[in-house]
Structure 1
């Protein structure tokens, strides 16, 4: 309910007006059978045409007023539900943007897409039929009350019918909720499978695993179908059963009413009004059942959206906001990934860098190289130790200050649909064209000038229309353009040839910028040109120093050098 209360406050006035309209609309509907009874009892039965005209005109006026209220509440309900949907999607996207890495790891992207689209649409749909939710109980209760006033003996039948239907509604809700929750989870799986295929479509083509991917989708799709059938099965049985019970109640009313009429305990108008009230009660009960079934599904969607709303956010912005420079220090840092194996990815790591220095981090796969970058950016909080930038503990700093001081070029370049210039300026949205071109020149991205529209050439989704090396150079240009005190290159030149990489490295290592550069690499030929080299193995520091120092003191570094450099020379 907390989720609805939040949006109720935003649209309190139109919601209250809509509720008022629903109440008066229901009141007008409830007057219909009573007016019909008066037409029969005082007009037709007594042969008074003036009474027929009088009560008939009054009935038309009440119906017209009810129609006006219905139109008004429909317009208001539609506007409120659509506005709520737009606000909910915006709030969800804003929340996802502020996710901590733990939350991002926990909630799959396919699931998040389902929650932002299908689950949100379910809530909007439910909010749109809230007018029926309010009208149906009013009409049902009002029909019972007015029917009781008309003839208490006949109303006992109505009480029995409503009691049985109420039990069926409770049973329906209890059985439906777990099924609808599983249905949404099955939809998550379908979205995830499709998303994985679209991301890895080239790999699927390269390995020819179409059948495997088709089977995986078919399994997820069939599971979704089974969950859909299972969730609808309860409604399939309950709804006809309710209609049957109310139908039986109507027949009993007519039979009993006939006997009461013969005993002069009921008039024809009363019996006619009772039949209409029974029809209204049937319609209201079916509406209530459908609403409760929708509510059950919406409850499942609401709980899933609430998981996103309540997810752990990125680190707060309450720390000190300072202008940082490039001095970096790790002090006895230990870290294990949340919800992981529990084995530390980084163990008691200590090293320091002065502003303007370059550091290469090298080591076997899985040694914790990239983890150092994630910790420095404070994507995760360390378990013990300290990470300092300019002698400031990053836990005490405003997270924006920390990330503004660091530019990262990731191992897998992430480019967005749009122009080349837009992708480069993503690192600094205040940059001018000459600054973009200068950053591209430092990244050796001269190929941009040869593209059909130069820097205004459009890149497709994930930049599928350029090569891996071109993606990396655009990504490097973006990192350069940010002009941050610390630049992290996470295996960012793996797709570049040795000559191009050397030119990029020379441009980056220029002492004019006094920029601290951290290069994460598996190439000894890249690491050896840095001021210092940090050698990692199994999360631990096993070597730290210059290339010459490590060639004398670090066995793992010597093995890497011999494998990569000496063996290539011999070849």
Structure 2
């Protein structure tokens, strides 16, 4: 629970004010049985109407005060708990935004959503309940026991025995609940993941006719959640009636013992009635305390899951160096890398090459050769295990992560557009970007024609998942977004794969004109795209198979020649 200390410090004044009103409300509740005893023993027994009316009005006034205290307490509790929830969610989101890629790989998105919603809601409920119920229950319960003991020390023996037995039952219940509720939360994670995967791939599922399979997968996760939910609720189902039975037996024993004491004239009727009222308040407090411990157990499990986010590894900070030139040189020196949660095999091994500022590098190779890994390393999503990357002659680790990513713009094959207008998506890196720059970027990406054909042009809406755009349209908007960013290095990671050859060529020509001095890296599968680059890097199974111009590689790289022949044709053919 230590992670909540900073929030407590922020809201401590309101928190203590709310608990003060809880205390006052409890005092009002505790006074009523004693006043009722006075009404019975001094008013009814003595047949004094004035006494009955006097104490009756006092009882109404105290009840009114208790209602006022309860109202103020509820308002303060809502303000504190909702403010706490807002701050907690904001801090969690900020932390997730700064996750290292290995942390993001380890925690599935479905689990993160559950932690951001269900687990934080559980923590908010706990804080709200702490001010509304959790303080009231112990204060009322302890106060009732003290006042009951003052009324009749002999009857209090029964009371203390019942309370001790209930305390043991609550402890056993809490111990059994914790593990079960933690399993429920992980079952919710799995269910959310199934739903998320289906929604992201809904078209593919329908295209392959796999609805039945997805329904079975959902049903399996849903049934697992049901079973774990039932197991967690069974603890409450078993213990709640037992607790009520123990307290009810205690009340019955008090009635029996009270009647004996009354016959012996050792206690008055009003005091027996007041004692039973206090027993009832204790029963209510015990039920609330049971709920408190149940909520505490659930909150503890949720807190551990929230804590896992807060202690997760963040992006490396880096040094204090700054970029100086308009374009960026890129050098890989004997760099080797394997994914932290992967097989342990190198995705890139002993890679070395040099790209001068303002040049264009095409990276080509078969699937799984490490082309996209090279991009992730340039963005500092991961750190190389051996060797180093130099940007403008300085180790990439000597720049902050923010500086590196501000200096690089990326458009990938797996296009991600956001809900909003086309203008907002293209200007995503700089929301205040001028319309002129947005339109220039769209023209360079060969996207302006289809954008202007839409009803509202650049203000046309993109739906969630960009389902109202074709694959080629999405890629062109993504390329325009990368071009519009004022970056020193442009990376196009197979981002023209959905474009025809003519459009692909036009995009490449327009990119050179858009910002001539910008360093560019093209990740591609197309020889035709690679041939126009200043330098070409050929990768195969994470190793460099060749580096140089098209002419150099045609002479020296068998892998490059094989790709050329498979895509272009015979070696003596001329490509226009």
Q: TM-score, normalised by structure 2?
A: 0.96
**SS of 1:47 mapped into structure 2:** coil
Q: Does 1:444 align with 2:446?
A: yes
The 1:182–1:560 alpha-carbon spacing in structure 2 relative to 1, beyond 3 Å, is: same
| Shift, 1:318, TM fit | 5.6
Which residue number corresponds to residue 562 of structure 2? 559
More deviation, 249-258/549-558: 549-558
| Shift, 1:61, TM fit | 2.1
- In 2, the alpha carbon distance for the partners of 1:176 and 1:320 equals 53
More deviation, 320-329/550-559: 320-329
**SS of 1:344 mapped into structure 2:** coil
**CA deviation vs aligned residue, 1:61-108 (integer Å, no higher than 9, x gap):** 222222211111011111111121222222222222121111111111
**SS of 2:367 mapped into structure 1:** coil
Contact (CA 8 Å) 2:318, 2:397: kept in 1 or not? no
1:98-117 to 2 correspondences below 5 Å: 98-117=98-117
**CA deviation vs aligned residue, 1:366-390 (integer Å, no higher than 9, x gap):** 1111001110110111112111111
More deviation, 442-451/53-62: 53-62
The 1:173–1:567 alpha-carbon spacing in structure 2 relative to 1, beyond 3 Å, is: farther
1:250-399 to 2 correspondences below 5 Å: 250-316=251-317, 319-323=320-324, 325-399=327-401
Which residue number corresponds to residue 58 of structure 2? 58
Which residue number corresponds to residue 16 of structure 2? 16
Contact (CA 8 Å) 1:358, 1:509: kept in 2 or not? no
The 1:18–1:454 alpha-carbon spacing in structure 2 relative to 1, beyond 3 Å, is: same
Q: Does 1:157 align with 2:158?
A: yes
Contact (CA 8 Å) 2:81, 2:128: kept in 1 or not? yes
Which residue number corresponds to residue 76 of structure 2? 76
Contact (CA 8 Å) 1:440, 1:474: kept in 2 or not? yes
**SS of 1:218 mapped into structure 2:** helix
| Shift, 1:320, TM fit | 3.0
Which residue number corresponds to residue 250 of structure 2? 249
Contact (CA 8 Å) 2:162, 2:246: kept in 1 or not? yes
- In 2, the alpha carbon distance for the partners of 1:320 and 1:10 equals 36
Q: Which of 528, 533, 543 pairs up with 1:530?
A: 533
- In 1, the alpha carbon distance for the partners of 2:198 and 2:351 equals 38
Contact (CA 8 Å) 2:181, 2:301: kept in 1 or not? yes
Contact (CA 8 Å) 1:356, 1:511: kept in 2 or not? no
**CA deviation vs aligned residue, 1:225-270 (integer Å, no higher than 9, x gap):** 1111111110011111100100000000000011111112221122
1:454-469 to 2 correspondences below 5 Å: 454-469=457-472
- In 2, the alpha carbon distance for the partners of 1:69 and 1:483 equals 59
**SS of 1:386 mapped into structure 2:** strand
| Shift, 1:512, TM fit | 5.6
**SS of 2:568 mapped into structure 1:** helix
Which residue number corresponds to residue 175 of structure 1? 176
Which residue number corresponds to residue 427 of structure 1? 429
**CA deviation vs aligned residue, 1:3-42 (integer Å, no higher than 9, x gap):** 3212111111111100101111111111111111122222
| Shift, 1:511, TM fit | 8.9
- In 2, the alpha carbon distance for the partners of 1:406 and 1:415 equals 18
The 1:447–1:139 alpha-carbon spacing in structure 2 relative to 1, beyond 3 Å, is: same
Contact (CA 8 Å) 2:336, 2:351: kept in 1 or not? yes
Which residue number corresponds to residue 206 of structure 2? 205
Q: Which structure 2 segments of 5+ residues have no match?
A: none
- In 1, the alpha carbon distance for the partners of 2:426 and 2:199 equals 25
Contact (CA 8 Å) 2:318, 2:398: kept in 1 or not? no
Contact (CA 8 Å) 1:411, 1:492: kept in 2 or not? yes
- In 1, the alpha carbon distance for the partners of 2:44 and 2:522 equals 96
Contact (CA 8 Å) 2:410, 2:482: kept in 1 or not? yes
Q: TM-score, normalised by structure 1?
A: 0.97
- In 1, the alpha carbon distance for the partners of 2:102 and 2:357 equals 31
- In 2, the alpha carbon distance for the partners of 1:567 and 1:96 equals 51
- In 1, the alpha carbon distance for the partners of 2:414 and 2:459 equals 23
Q: Does 1:193 align with 2:187?
A: no
Which residue number corresponds to residue 524 of structure 2? 521
- In 2, the alpha carbon distance for the partners of 1:471 and 1:47 equals 89
| Shift, 1:559, TM fit | 1.4
Contact (CA 8 Å) 2:334, 2:387: kept in 1 or not? yes
- In 1, the alpha carbon distance for the partners of 2:319 and 2:554 equals 45
Contact (CA 8 Å) 2:535, 2:550: kept in 1 or not? yes
The 1:499–1:268 alpha-carbon spacing in structure 2 relative to 1, beyond 3 Å, is: same
Which residue number corresponds to residue 30 of structure 1? 30
- In 2, the alpha carbon distance for the partners of 1:435 and 1:331 equals 36
| Shift, 1:287, TM fit | 0.5
- In 2, the alpha carbon distance for the partners of 1:413 and 1:488 equals 13
- In 2, the alpha carbon distance for the partners of 1:514 and 1:180 equals 58
The 1:15–1:496 alpha-carbon spacing in structure 2 relative to 1, beyond 3 Å, is: same
Contact (CA 8 Å) 1:92, 1:116: kept in 2 or not? yes
Q: Does 1:132 align with 2:133?
A: yes
- In 1, the alpha carbon distance for the partners of 2:515 and 2:106 equals 43
**CA deviation vs aligned residue, 1:507-535 (integer Å, no higher than 9, x gap):** 22349621111011111221121111111
**SS of 2:135 mapped into structure 1:** helix
